[in-house]
Amino acid sequence: MIHKAVGGDTSELAWFKSSYSGGTDGNSCVEVAVTSGTVHVRDSKDVRLPRLALTPTAWADFVSHTAEG
């Protein structure tokens, strides 16, 4: 899996919240933005924190792994 912390300005990305975010207290939120070759992931509670940038393949592997339990 390839991932890295993202620096620079990513404010132009179209972020959306995961349908699986929420938790019992409503504070467990993940947002994702997709570009042609990268899936960006951030904590929506504090968008100033470092973000991850993953290849589409790495993102698909992560999502399928977490869906299995």
**pLDDT tens series, the chain, 69 aa:** 344 444 445 558 898 886 766 666 666 688 889 998 999 998 888 888 888 999 999 999 988 876 555
The whole-angstrom separation of Cα 61 and Cα 68 is 11
Q: Which among 44, 45, 50, 48 has a CA at the least distance from the CA of 32?
A: 44
pTM of the predicted model, to two decimals? 0.67
Q: How many CB atoms lie within 10 A of CB 51?
A: 20
Backbone angles phi, psi at 62, to 5 degrees: -65, -50
Q: Are the CB atoms for 41 and 32 separated by under 8 Å?
A: yes
